[in-house]
Structure 1
Amino acid sequence: MNLPTRETLRLAWVREKLQDPEAALERASSDASFRSYWRARSGGRSWVLMDAPPDREDIRPWLDIADRLIRAGLHAPDIQAADAERGFVLMEDLGDRVLLQELRQTTVDRLYGQAMDALLRMQLRADADGLPDYDEARLVAEMELMPEWLLGRHLGFTPECGQWDVIESAFRALVENTRRQRQVFVHRDYHSRNLLVTEVDSPGIVDFQDAVRGPITYDLVSLLRDCYIVWPEDRVYGWAEDYRLRLQGAGIAVPEADGFRRAFDLMGLQRHVKVLGIFCRLWYRDGKAGYLQDLPRVWKYTREVGLRYPETEGLVRLIESAIGDRDLSLPI
C-alpha cells in the first residue's frame, strides 16, 4: 500500500482547514531547520502554511512561544489552525518584506528603531516562565560547535592539549559574562532574516521556537551585529547605548555605558563563535552551502571583538592560525 506523500498530505490538510477544495499552495521559503513554508491562497486571501515533519521537529514549542509573544502585544503570526501530530500550522501571512532586504542607509534608523521597540516590549512583557534557561551547559554546547565543525571539519585542524586550554578558558569567560546579566525572554535568533516589515505593528516576528530565558544583551547584539549585514561600529554602539538608556528609563537595572558595552561585546562573541560552527555544520551535515558565504562576515566580527579583550584574545589567535590564508567561504 502506497502512503500519501508529504506534498499530498500538506495540500489536503490546508484545503480542509480553509474549507476550499481549490485552495492552492506555492513555496514561500525555507530556513536552516527542517521546516518549510508555503503560501496558501483561497478566495482572494492568503495564509502561510508551516510544514514541520513531526519525525524531525516538534511544533508545540513554536505554538507556545507564538502565544507568549502575541499575549505580550508583539506581532507574531496569528494562528488559524494547527496540527501537532501532523506537523502543520496555518497562520497569518506576514508578507515577504524581510527586514534584511529593506535595510538601507536611509531606512536603517527607522527600521531598527521599530525592531528595538518590539525587543523592549518583548523583554518587558513576554512571559519567560517555564522556558529553558540559557545556562552554562547550553552555552558551552553551542560554542563547542566551533571547534568541531569550523576547526575540525572545515579547516582540518585538531587543537592540541594546550590549545584546548585556551579554548576552554575563553568559553568560561563568555559564560561568566552571561551570568552577570539580567535574565529575560530571549528570542535567540532576533535578526534581519527573522523580522518582516509589515504595514501594521511592524516588525512581524518569526522563527522564535527556540526561545529561552537568558541574558538581556543577547537579542540586541543578534540584531545589531547581524550575521547577514554589517554596520559601522560607531552606529552599532550608538544604537546599543540608546537601547541601554531605554531599559534604564523603563526601570530595568543595567550597567553604566562601559559595562553594558562589554557585556554586549562578549555576548555577541559567544553568539558568533557558535555561528562559526553552525554555518559549517549546515553545509557539511545538511547540504546547505549558502551559509558558507556568510562565514567571513561572522569571522570578522569574532576577530575584531575578540582581540579587544584579554580573556578572548588567545582564542582568536588560535582560530586565526588555523585559518591561515584559507578562504572561509569555500568548502573543502
Structure 2
Amino acid sequence: MAARSLERFLPDEAATTRLGEDLAMAVKPGDVLLLDGDLGAGKSTLARGLIRALAGDPAHEVPSPTFTLVQSYDTPVPVHHFDLYRLSSSEEFLELGFDEAVASGVALVEWPERAAEAMPAVSLRLAIEHEGDGRRIVISGDGPVFDRIARSLAMRDFLVSADFGDARRARFTGDASARGYETVTPEGQAPLVLMNSPRLVLGPPVRDGKPYAEIAHTAQTVAAFVAIDRALAAGGVTVPGIVAHDLDQGFLLLEHLGTGAFLDPVGKPIAERYAAAAELLAMIHGKQWDDRLEAAPGVVHQVPPFDRDALMIEVDLLVDWYVPAVTGAPASDALRDGYHAAWNAVFDRLADKQHGLVLRDYHSPNIIWRGEKKGFDRLGIVDFQDALIGPVAYDVASLAMDARVTVSPDIERTTVDAYVAARHAAGSFDEPAFREAYAIMAAQRNSKILGIFVRLDRRDGKPQYLKHLPRIRDYLHRALAHPALADLRDFYRDNRLLEEFDA
C-alpha cells in the first residue's frame, strides 16, 4: 500500500512548536516518528514542541540528545528522543535500547538514515526543508498513526476556522468510547474544551442484520450532542455552551464548565452532592421534552426510544461476555432462552411506568460540581449524546448506583429519597411505581455493566475496569432484592450468574 502524505507550511518557530503540539495530541505508545532535514531545519524545535506538550509544560527542559544519543521523558505518554547524528556504528545503535523504547512509548528519531535498516516499516516520516523565511514539512506514512496525525491537524484547522488557531492544546480526558477531549487555551483567555467525536463505526451485524450500536441506539454523530445540549440548556440545565462546531468532521469547541470534583478528595461520594444531582434529575424528568431536536439549521436529531430491543441487547452483554469469563465457555442456548424469558417478563412491567428523557450516563464522571454557584447551576452536566426517551428511573439508578464509585446503601437511599421528595413536591407522583421501575432499571444497567467491563478487558485490552466488578455485583444484588424481581433473582441465583471469577 502506497504511503499517504500531507503538507504544512511553517512560517516561523511558533508554528513549528504548534505542529509539535498537534502531533503530541495524536501519538500513542509504539509510534515511531522519523525527523528528516538538514542542520537547522527545525527538527529539534518540532521535537521540543511535542515533548513539552506531552509534559503539559511549555517550559519543560528538553536538552538536546546529540551527545547522549537518546533522552527519555516520563510523560503521560512516554517519549524517547533519539539523535543519531553522531552514531558511530549499527552496534552502537543496538545498545541504545530502541526496541524497548518503542514498546514502552513514542520514539522521535532525528537523522534516522544513520540506522535506516533498523527503522520500522510503519514509521511516520516528517521531512522538513527550508522555504523562504519558513519551513515546509511533508508528513508521510500509512495506517492508524497517519490517520491520527491527519485528524489532529484537521482539528487545528478547525480551530483556525473558529479564530483560535494560535491556542495552546493539551490532553484533557477520554472515555471508554472513541471520543477524545482536549483543553484549548487561547492567549490571555479562559480555556475551552475541544471534543473529537468521529462518526461512530457501527461494527458487524449481531442481530437481525443490525450492529449492536444501531440496536442500542448509540449516537452515531456529534449532531446528537449538539441537539441535546441546546435542548437541555433551554430547559434550565447547565451544559457546555457551544462555541463552534463542525458536524461533518465531528469537532466541537465547548465552554469549559470547570474542574470541580463531584466526589470528595479521595474519590468517595458526598451525600449532599448526590442528593442535589437527584433533585436536578427530578426537575429534568418532570418536564416534557420533544423527541425531535434541532442541532443546526436543517439538521434534526431524532431522540431514539429506549425500546425493548435496546433494553434486551444491553442485558445480553452479561451472557455474551461475563458468563464466558466466569464459566470458561459460551452461554448455552438454554441459558439464553431462559434469560430472555425472565427479562421479558420484567420489561413487561415497565409499560405503565413513567417515560421521559433519559440522559443515560448520569453519574459522577459526567457531573462537575460548581460549589460557588447557586441552585441547579452548581451541577454541570457534560455527557448526554446517547440520551433516549424511556423509563426515567434508569438515570436515578445510574446516579445512585454509580458504576465507578462505591455508593453505600445509606447514600443510595438518601439519593433516591431526594429524587422522590422532589417529584412529590412538583406534583402528582406514583412513588411505588417509580421504586419498582428503579429496581428494574438498576438490575438492567448493572447486568449490562458487568458485561461491558469484561468486554473492555477481553476485547479492548483495558483490564483496569475489572476492579469495578465486585461493586457492580453488589449493586445488582441490591436491585434484585425488590419483590417485583423475585423470579429474575431466582433465575440469576439458580444459574450462578453473579459468580466471581479470577480476573
What is the match of residue 386 of structure 2? 210
Given candidates 179, 184, 208, the residue that maps to 1:35 is: 179
Alignment of 1:111-150 (within 5 A): 111-125=273-287, 127-130=289-292, 131-150=303-322
Residue deviations 1:102-143, cap 9 Å, x none?
5877x7232123212321221123624242111111100111
Residue 222 (structure 1) shift: 0.8
Residue 247 (structure 1) shift: 1.0
Query: Which segments of 5 or more consecutive residues in structure 1 lack a partner in the other structure?
Result: none
What is the match of residue 198 of structure 2? 53
The structure that is strand-richer by fraction is 2
Residue 233 (structure 1) shift: 1.9
Distance 2:274 2:235 in 1: 20
Contact 1:279/1:295 (CA < 8 Å) preserved in 2? yes
- Indicate the SS of the match to 2:169: strand
1:78 aligns with 2:241: yes
Q: How many percent identity over aligned positions?
A: 29
What is the match of residue 88 of structure 1? 251
Query: Which segments of 5 or more consecutive residues in structure 2 lack a partner in the other structure?
Result: 7-148, 202-219, 293-302
Residue deviations 1:71-102, cap 9 Å, x none?
11101100000001111000001122342455
Distance 2:405 2:420 in 1: 22
What is the match of residue 420 of structure 2? 244
Contact 2:446/2:472 (CA < 8 Å) preserved in 1? yes
Contact 1:306/1:316 (CA < 8 Å) preserved in 2? no
Distance 1:311 1:318 in 2: 10
What is the match of residue 297 of structure 1? 471
Structure 1 window deviating more from structure 2 (246-255 vs 182-191): it is: 246-255
Residue 174 (structure 1) shift: 3.1
TM-score by length of 1: 0.88
What is the match of residue 403 of structure 2? 227
Q: CA RMSD in A?
A: 2.4
TM-score by length of 2: 0.60
Distance 2:434 2:280 in 1: 20
Distance 1:42 1:146 in 2: 45
Distance 1:289 1:321 in 2: 21
Residue 215 (structure 1) shift: 1.0
Distance 1:326 1:278 in 2: 15
1:326 aligns with 2:471: no
Contact 2:173/2:181 (CA < 8 Å) preserved in 1? yes
Residue 166 (structure 1) shift: 3.1
Contact 1:186/1:211 (CA < 8 Å) preserved in 2? yes
What is the match of residue 285 of structure 1? 459
- Indicate the SS of the match to 2:390: strand
Pair 101,235 (structure 1): closer, same or farther in 2 beyond 3 Å: closer
Pair 116,102 (structure 1): closer, same or farther in 2 beyond 3 Å: farther
Structure 1 window deviating more from structure 2 (139-148 vs 20-29): it is: 20-29
Structure 1 window deviating more from structure 2 (82-91 vs 149-158): it is: 149-158
1:12 aligns with 2:12: no
Residue 292 (structure 1) shift: 1.7
Task: Identify the structure with bigger relative contact order (alpha carbons < 8 Å, sequence gap 6+).
Answer: 1
